[in-house]
Amino acid sequence: MAVLQSPLLFLGFLVILIQIPSSKSLTCTSQSFTNNKLYQHCNDLPHLNSYLHWTHDATKSSLSIAFVVSKENSDGWISWAINPTATGMVGAEALIALKDSNGSMVVKTYKLNSYSSIVESKLSFDVTEAVSEYSSGEMRIFATISGVEKLGTTLNQVWQVGSSVVNGFPARHDLLAANLDSKGTVDLLLGQSNSSTGGADSRLRRKNIHGILNAVSWGILFPVGAMIARYLRTMESADPAWFYLHALCQVSAYCIGVAGWITGLKIGDESKGVIYTYHRNIGIALFSLATVQIFALLLRPKKDHKYRLYWNIYHHSLGYSIIILSIINVFKGLGILNPEKQWKTGYIGVIVSLGALSLLLEAVTWIVVMRRSKSGQSTKPYDGYNNNNGGS
């Protein structure tokens, strides 16, 4: 039971700590600009350490903005965009600040026609006084947009941060949750800038649930179930309890894993144009192999059947393959979610602990087997109640 308590304890901590939001040490009200510009409104945007300062002049139908991103260096690029027709990236018209070939900061305009098509182009609205700078750990865009009345009184905004520039062109940004959720609105009448926090929080919650379910099922319970079958079955006193524990652990892991897999399908359906190929393909393979493994219990031959040896080879090979793929995919998922470092460290700690326990139990198992061999007892593991039920 101690083996089972460790994953459950880890799950409990994970569920609690995942709800703790990261805090910002900086707010837009504390920011000032070297050009001494002042703006009527400012907002702390919820993602990518970004801030928007803005003033709407209704008489001139103009919008003056300062978009600010806290960055450790001037490499890469930042972008603030208006989408005249939708709420996301596709169709957005962007101001992108990056370093020119001579090392100076410039602002270029791009149209984002699709997820794979970003074209430097004049925008459908006039942009004047567009400049950018980097100082004091902040990259900034200053610009004035004319003719905003034709865009309506509520503007769809999209902002983004990229880590590199290739041949003067902004390279593709990360596809982490913060990057995908960096969008919202600017209400020119009410003087408010809002993010799409409702949908974003809901998606992030589903991603966290997906990660927790899969880490616990594929990444922890499946290995624990294999350990139960591997080591408890050598003990006569554990027969047939080891089999029922093994079956309970694996079936529970499968059910939780299916729930995580379905959640992943839902997330994928909501993220059009965003595909994590390796993570998705490994997930599909895991679901398929685990389904075959679970239903194979119904076809398990009796101990003395001539095909039992082949069934054992198949069952063990498939089981270890699932465990290896599971652990790989959990790390793939952690790379996508990009949680704080302690989550990855915590999972590594669990896996290392289970590995160390396996080595210890492996040594104990071989000692037991060798002693039985010397005493003339059977060295074969117990195979379930009356040697007919259960097994691994």
For residue 258, give the CATH number of its domain. Answer: 1.20.120.1770
Q: Is residue 36 part of a domain?
A: no
| Cross-strand bridge partners of residue 117 | 114
Q: Is residue 341 part of a domain?
A: yes
Dihedrals φ, ψ of 349, to 5°? -60, -40
Instruction: Kindly report the pTM of this predicted structure.
Output: 0.49
| Cross-strand bridge partners of residue 387 | none
Q: Is residue 286 part of a domain?
A: yes
For residues 141 and 217, state if they share a domain.
no
Residue 256: predicted pLDDT: 92
For residue 174, give the CATH number of its domain. Answer: 2.60.40.1210
First to last CA, the chain: 19
Q: Is residue 236 part of a domain?
A: yes
For residues 295 and 372, state if they share a domain.
yes
Please identify, among 134, 169, 195, the residue that sits at the C-terminal boundary of a domain.
195
Amino acid at 339: P
Please give the Cα distance from 159 to 178 (Å, whole number). 10
For residues 273 and 383, state if they share a domain.
yes
For residues 343 and 282, state if they share a domain.
yes
Total number of domains in the chain: 2
Q: Identify which of 360, 389, 391, 365 has the alpha carbon closest to the alpha carbon of residue 3.
A: 360
Residue 272: predicted pLDDT: 56
* Tokens found for residue 312: 């054992």
Residue 88: predicted pLDDT: 78
Phi-psi region of 66 (alpha: psi -120 to 50; beta: other; left: phi over 0): beta
**What angle, rounded to 10 degrees, do the helices at 222-231 and 2-17 form?**
170
| Cross-strand bridge partners of residue 183 | 158
- State the CB neighbour count (10 A cutoff) for residue 364: 13
For residues 214 and 305, state if they share a domain.
yes
Please give the Cα distance from 193 to 238 (Å, whole number). 63
For residues 216 and 189, state if they share a domain.
no
Please identify, among 195, 218, 242, the residue that sits at the C-terminal boundary of a domain.
195
Tell me the per-residue pLDDT of 252-298, one tens digit each, with 9 for 90 and over.
Answer: 999 998 898 888 887 777 665 566 788 888 888 988 898 888 887 77
CA dihedral 300→365→226→216, nearest 10 degrees, is 160
Amino acid at 165: V
Q: Identify which of 48, 5, 343 has the alpha carbon closest to the alpha carbon of residue 207.
A: 343
Amino acid at 258: V
For residues 188 and 210, state if they share a domain.
no
Q: Is residue 22 part of a domain?
A: no
Please give the Cα distance from 128 to 122 (Å, whole number). 12
For residues 264 and 164, state if they share a domain.
no
Q: Is residue 23 part of a domain?
A: no
Tell me the per-residue pLDDT of 85-123, one tens digit each, with 9 for 90 and over.
Answer: 887 788 888 888 888 877 788 888 888 877 666 778 888
For residues 189 and 206, state if they share a domain.
no
Residue 62: Cβ-neighbour burial (10 angstroms; 0-12, 13-18, 19+): middle
Contact by Cβ (8 Å): 79, 95: yes
For residues 166 and 84, state if they share a domain.
yes
Half-sphere exposure in the Cβ direction for 306 (13 Å, CA): 0
Q: Is residue 13 part of a domain?
A: yes
The answer on pLDDT for 227 being more than 50 is: yes
pLDDT band at 11 (very low <50, low <70, confident <90, very high): very low
Tell me the per-residue pLDDT of 162-218, one tens digit each, with 9 for 90 and over.
Answer: 888 887 788 888 777 778 888 888 887 776 666 554 444 566 677 788 888 888 888
Contact by Cβ (8 Å): 97, 105: yes
Q: Is residue 274 part of a domain?
A: yes
Q: Give the domain extent around 130.
A: 45-195
For residues 9 and 72, state if they share a domain.
no
Q: Edge-to-edge strands of the sheet including 117-120?
A: 117-120, 105-114, 93-99, 77-83, 154-162, 183-187, 192-195
Please identify, among 168, 195, 222, the residue that sits at the C-terminal boundary of a domain.
195
Question: What are the residues whose beta carbons fall under 8 Å from the beta carbon of 282, sequence distance 6 or more?
Answer: 325, 328, 329, 332
For residues 93 and 75, state if they share a domain.
yes
pLDDT band at 376 (very low <50, low <70, confident <90, very high): low
Contact by Cβ (8 Å): 229, 246: yes
**Section 311-337 average pLDDT:** 86
